[in-house]
Structure 1
Amino acid sequence: MSASDSSANWLSVIPPGQFATRQWVLGQAVSVHALDNALKSRKLVALTRGVVARPEWPVSREGALASMNRVLAEPVWLGGLSALAEMGLTHYLEGSSRVHLYSSAARPSWLARLPLDLDLQWHGTARLWDMRQLMAAGSLREQALDKGVWLLASPEQAFLEALLDVPKAMSFEHADNLMQGLSSLSPKRLDALLKACRHVQVKRLFFFFADRYDYPWRRRLSPDDYDLGSGKRHIVAGGMLDSTYLITVPEAFHGQS
């Protein structure tokens, strides 16, 4: 029997309100016998196959994020609209249970089976971010939570992530409304993030909306410093072509950048 098995405190490796995979728990020098006994005695409960938690607390949004950052090899963060809402930078209210998660990791197979009162929306980042450059940008903020951390995207990063959903899941009007509240972004962080961004359409949309408001930070960024690709991008079916960024936009936005 390992030291962890003989200790009455080994269950504390899973903080209340969080979860862990069975594989991760066994990797903490806990034996299969000790883990199975904890489940039989209801000191732990199985949320789904291969995922366990303490029974005394429901898993919160922050607890779910801290848990994933504990058991997965790649960072998982609250980003996009969820991060902007967390920082009070959006007036649009999605369902209060919807949580936008971003990671370069593959979506865990058990995620959709977790019995949580949360609508976890997983966004893979392979098309959007060069992860090495993203991490170097220092744009993920660590939020402490009971023996762990959950990660929150900066407003600069979150807005670029949200733009990936234009126009299918986010309208031009919604994106424009978000930009209205982003008057105090960091040009230094934006520079690093735009260089880390792999998605040409997102970068063109970013500058299109930024030009509409001409905030002080916009004047310190030059589109020529970033790879905006070549050729036209048909974003809106039947839209009008913006001659600056060669993207089709709704008629109501044409000529206003």
Structure 2
Amino acid sequence: MKTETIGLEKEQKINHLLNSQPPGVVYLSSWLTENGFSTQLLNRYRNSNWIYSIGTGAWMRVGDKPTYQGALFALQGQADLNIHPGGKTALSLLGKAHYLELSTKHITLFGGSEERLPTWFLKYNWGVKVNYFGSSFLPPQIGLQALEQGTFSLLVSNSTRALMECLYLTPKKQELVECYEIMEGLNNLRPKQVQELLEICTSIKVKRLFLYMAEKAGHDWFKYIDLKKIDLGKGKRSLVKDGVYISKYRITVPKTLENYE
């Protein structure tokens, strides 16, 4: 009788914990341990077909299928990490990059300069190639927004931050002309939000390119940006050889970008 009571209590305990998180999310071993579940107990639950492992340190509820979004939800909510969909991936999730390939085979994630993706995340086959960039050119908490992903919300870069993340990757990992095409579609950005991100951004390259592209695109919101409050650094920046020098922003850009109509 006593054994049955203990079994029932454990069953209720795991049920309660599993139900405290939305369906489809990953459960981190570290978070489960903090909530009173030892490795031994987790292995018992696995043997009882309650949960299954997707790698060392990560579990799923039986019946749920892992997605990279559900894994990121765990990293954000259970591990308190700032890792999030950024760049073109964020723009695509926000519906701001309609011309981009929707069934993309790559996802772009950004996190803090000291943050790393756990091994189980890197090893698991999500069906897409994961490109992760740890950086500190923008603060971790500013410029993110909650986006519904089925049963849960995920923090992703908003349009302004996402484009800045794209520009951060130029010119080696992201084409400048494609960044400009994205900028052209961002005609309804909030000037206050743009101003804030430009003022706290530490990448001179990103700030100069962002302002150059915004002005070139002729967006109405650009006239509300106070350039005097934005530190654009000193000296010239050459992004390509044999390009066009833009004296106002002291950058050399590809001819294809400057001549883009």
Give the TM-score range, shorter chain.
0.7 to 0.9
1:148-187 map, 5 Å: 149-187=153-191
In structure 2, the CA distance between the partners of 1:2 and 1:205, relative to structure 1 (3 Å rule), is: farther
Aligned to 1:129: 138
My pick for the range that moved more, 2-11 or 15-24, is: 2-11
> Which of the numbers 188, 212, 217 marks the counterpart of 1:213?
217
Rounded Cα–Cα distance in structure 2 between residues aligned with 1:144 and 1:2: 36
Aligned to 1:116: 126
Unaligned stretches of 5+ in structure 2? 1-5
DSSP-derived class of the 2:45 partner: helix
Residue 107 of structure 2 is aligned to residue 99 of structure 1: yes
Rounded Cα–Cα distance in structure 2 between residues aligned with 1:40 and 1:108: 25
In structure 2, the CA distance between the partners of 1:3 and 1:197, relative to structure 1 (3 Å rule), is: farther
Which residue type is aligned with residue 28 of structure 2?
A: T
- Offset of 1:222 from its aligned partner? 2.9
Which residue type is aligned with residue 133 of structure 2?
A: H
Residue 27 of structure 2 is aligned to residue 23 of structure 1: no
Q: Check the 8 A contact 1:200/1:228 in 2, yes or no.
A: yes
DSSP-derived class of the 1:110 partner: helix
Unaligned stretches of 5+ in structure 1? none
- Offset of 1:129 from its aligned partner? 1.0
In structure 2, the CA distance between the partners of 1:218 and 1:30, relative to structure 1 (3 Å rule), is: same
Q: Check the 8 A contact 1:80/1:100 in 2, yes or no.
A: yes
- Offset of 1:4 from its aligned partner? 7.0
In structure 2, the CA distance between the partners of 1:2 and 1:206, relative to structure 1 (3 Å rule), is: farther
Rounded Cα–Cα distance in structure 2 between residues aligned with 1:251 and 1:95: 31
Aligned to 1:189: 193
Aligned to 1:58: 65
In structure 2, the CA distance between the partners of 1:218 and 1:207, relative to structure 1 (3 Å rule), is: same
